[in-house]
Structure 1
Amino acid sequence: MRFDHAGIATENAESLAFRYEDIFGCDIAHEERFGDLRVIFLELENGYFELLEPQEEGTISKYLENNGPGLHHIALETDDIDAALERAESAGVELIDEEPRPGAWGHQVAFLHPKSTGGMLVEFVEH
């Protein structure tokens, strides 16, 4: 597996994207509306920042309400998401997604519960 991105919850993805462009010298690689979110990916040399801005009530708006802006999850790229889920489950990890589902950029994604991963929400991504 390889690091793919860090998902960051924010109230204003565009403003944070401009800030990160200034701070880190990264450019916007992709932007889309995905479900109840506006998603902006900023390209780094070895991965992305994924900025998650809620457009309506949903998971990220609730997260912001409870925790404020900041790191929401980390994502690891895998060539075989089904095998990655199987391995995690056999290691005793509680799965949020037992089956992969569509994610941003048309990738397949699945999440692991933070209770099983030391408090970190982990996403598997298959490009």
Structure 2
Amino acid sequence: MRFDHAGIATDDAEGLTELFETVFDALPVHRETFDGMDVRFLDLGNGYFELLEPREGGAIGRYLERNGPGIHHLALGTEDIEGALETAREEGIEPIDEEPRQGAWGHDVAFLHPKSTGGILIEFVEH
């Protein structure tokens, strides 16, 4: 496993992109509308910031209403997402996704329930 990205819920992806580009030299490398969100990836060299701005309410919109802007999830890269899910299940971690599904940028993803991971929403991502 390796760190892949931090998913950040925001109501101003454009402003945060400009700030992170200036302050952290985080280069914008990908942008798409996915699952009711404006999704932007900013390359830090050793991982990404993934900025998530709701377009149609949805999960990120509800998250922002409850919690305000901030870190939504942490993503770990794996070469074997199905194996990673199986290991998590064997250790008693409850998956949100029973099987990998397509996520942003066309990657396979699967989320683990935060009640099983110390209160942190964890995403497995396979490029």
TM-score by length of 1: 0.99
Report how far residue 57 of structure 1 moved.
Answer: 1.5
Displaced runs of 4+ in structure 1, greater than 3 A?
none
Residue aligning to 1:29: 29
Gaps of 5+ in 1: none
Q: Are 2:12 and 1:4 aligned?
A: no
Report how far residue 117 of structure 1 moved.
Answer: 0.4
Gaps of 5+ in 2: none
Superposed counterparts of 1:47-126, under 5 Å: 47-126=47-126
Please tell me the residue identity of whatever aligns with 2:46.
Answer: N
Cα distance in 2 between the residues matched to 1:8 and 1:27: 16
How many pairs does the alignment contain? 127
Please tell me the residue identity of whatever aligns with 1:30.
Answer: H
Residue aligning to 2:44: 44
Alpha-carbon RMSD: 0.5
Cα distance in 2 between the residues matched to 1:26 and 1:87: 33
Cα distance in 2 between the residues matched to 1:65 and 1:26: 27
Report how far residue 47 of structure 1 moved.
Answer: 0.3
Please tell me the residue identity of whatever aligns with 1:95.
Answer: P
Cα distance in 1 between the residues matched to 2:35 and 2:9: 15
Please tell me the residue identity of whatever aligns with 1:65.
Answer: E
Cα distance in 1 between the residues matched to 2:35 and 2:64: 17
TM-score by length of 2: 0.99
